Structure 1
Amino acid sequence: MSAVISTEDRITVHRPPSAEQTASLVERVHQIGPVLREYAIAADRNRLLPRESVEALESADVWRISALKRYGGHEGGASMLLEVARAVGYYDPAAAWCLVISNGSVMLANRFGDDLLDEVFANGPIKAASIFAQPQGTATPHGDGWQITGKWPFASNSGNSDWALGILFIKDNESAPSQQIGFVLMRRDEFEIQDTWFTIGMRGSGSNTMVAENLWVPKNRVITFEQLMGNGPEQDPHATFGRRLTPHLTMSTTIQSTALGAAYAALDYTTDLSAKRPVTYTHYKKQVDSGAFVQNLGAASIKVDGARLLLERAAAEIDAVAAGTIPMPLERRARHRAGIGHAGHVLVDAVNDLCWLHGTAAFAENSLLGRMWRDINTGTRHASIAAPMGYELHGNGMTGTTYISTKL
């Protein structure tokens, strides 16, 4: 383990990376794109991101987007992760999902204390996983630390992780009227993974179940919900940029980028084959000879572009706010949550349209379009980005009614 970094030596960043830095990473993703697309089939079949894909992403230098500069990361914001993950999703949505979850989990870990981060990032940036939905475990005081027991399903990227976060109840005061919610940070050798991820889409994300039984961790490995998800760091003039990013909204925005990349891949696939495929049971020798086909292809394209604009709007405001010390108002967060959910809804509609246009060949087991359809339909149903919840949150903000979720 390296020596603890002194306060004076800890780099503080005040703004997001430049557009040029982001473009450079996106270009590197496109260079490894053929490798990601080749191994996407194995990822889907084996329900786990293959070593070749993990290493390709490593060579593109994108696993460390969210790691703080002081630990050798890019300390990128929402826009950088959105653009890079969209590019990865064009070749393999499951790989993009793992990339977002890893970087998003690092973003969450950045809210722990400096002493712990010096340990976690002693050897540089890490890969990570996290579950921050419903508490699935407990932290009980034990000596100078905590005894952890929990089971966290749907832990994407857990198989590739070096560290992982799990949401739980902190049983620090049994007489309290309600248990406090918090998070534990665990090393990969401190929890097991149960093979539970059997789905029709996003299979390569390896979203299995993390299990810890009577695990002892030191005191600094557990923090409260408010410390990790609250806006305290967003108001701290001394906090570095990577700590000021609003956690839940950043994660939601960037997770949706996987479906966005997949939708662009589906659009290009359908377009490229349209000059070669006939319209069955008609006189059209090529799909492009049909005015109806061409019109509906154009409509599907604009749907995808519209989703992209909504996500870019959210990412841009997240980064702009994180460059200052005034947290984003709840009504703005709720509006973006609606936009994120709507983007997913539109992407599902667009890829459904493309499947109608392409024909039943889309549903062949080896069809790229079919795989994108499965991944988009699965990914956009994630609880953090589902459209119905986002719409209602926005409606709460519009009407001044109580927000249906505190995770904004």
Structure 2
Amino acid sequence: MMRRRTNLLASCTALALALGATACGGGPVSAGGGDKSLDGQTITVAGVWSGSEQKNFQKVLDAFTEKTGAKTQFVSTGDNVSTVIGSKIEGGKAPDVVMVPQVGVLQQFAKQGWLAPLSKTAGAAVDANYASVWKNYGSVDGTLYGLYFKAAHKSTVWYSPDALDQAGVEPPTTYDALLKAGHTVSDSGLAAFSVAGQDGWTLTDWFENIYLSQAGPEKYDALATHRIKWTDPTVVEALTTLGKLFKDKQLMAGGQKGALNTDFPGSVEKVFGPKPEAGMVYEGDFVAGVAKDQFGRKIGEDANFFPFPAVDGGKAPVVSGGDAAVVLKDGKNQKAAMRFLEYLTTPEASAVWAGAGGFLSPNKKLDLASYGDDVTRETAKSLVAAGDSVRFDMSDQAPAAFGGTKGAGEWKILQDFLRDPSDPKGTAAELESAAAKAYKG
């Protein structure tokens, strides 16, 4: 799945680390002055990140080295974390720490006996610094294994202020108003939405926001764990609501065919690129990184967001994703690895990446001033303020065969629904069939 971006000068971060002061427009970053108690030791950290995300995470690793003396080595797994880590464990080359991007994978690792429970120190910090929902998502059968270090706010609709101004519309607060505003935008010459239908995961995010707001958190939790079936009337209702967008060719850039041929970066380009084709694109906070890094947009000026609007009188949803740090039992340096997780629980560690950009932290003790721009601060504030009403990305909680496989399961079925949204009940039956098979497996 796509994840995030942005950069500050490395020297600025280094200055903050060295001085333990407020720097780069951020809060306290006091990684200097450590006890060097892990001198001579090395930990290996595996994760999905590459490019600018990997470079920014490296700054966190470097800050840990500065504080403790431990050397670090980052290994990129690609998106298929489960398979890669399983192979490394079997080959006797298990990393010490893995940054796991899916709840379902964390649960899988724990049930296979691969994970060490978090230390009492880390657990106490999670209790003090995080909403309990993050502890719940990091726990399996009451034992805390994962620390959510990096989060995504996946209930943000990004828009071109020029496009909305030209159409004379304000950011809407209800789903019906969103579609109405979309028609006004399309009447002014641009399509309303750019939809990344080529990437099935974006369609699961559309569904999840609608479902959370329309059906409510209890139903959301039940569906996420398959305690209710995908043929439940609430699922059919949410698909019907989503279908209002999918079947309206006036609202989507290129219509259904165009959406199915547009990947996530392309969907951002159609709004914020040199030749705009649409006024709005729905996806997580990481849209800002693409708009800024690839298309030179100034976040807050010529690229902005509004919260995903409430559906049918429900509450506005806050769907999140995130990367949880876990310690593998088969790693060669479990003690130093656990020290690293204890470090990641601190606002100090989060401030390093927050200052570099392309990052949100669920750590409520992180000073919002640590973020580099007002829009990111507002997004982070919204995520933290949501507290225990945050719900983790549903497809990331499911077995990968259903919720996280290209060309299969939920991704494929929702792409088919985008192609032909005329039968929500039939689509719900297909989803249930695929889900039942995956959960049974």
Please report the TM-score for the alignment, with normalisation by the length of structure 1.
0.28
- Choose between structure 1 and 2 for higher RCO, CA contacts under 8 A separated by at least 6 residues: 2
Please report the TM-score for the alignment, with normalisation by the length of structure 2.
0.27
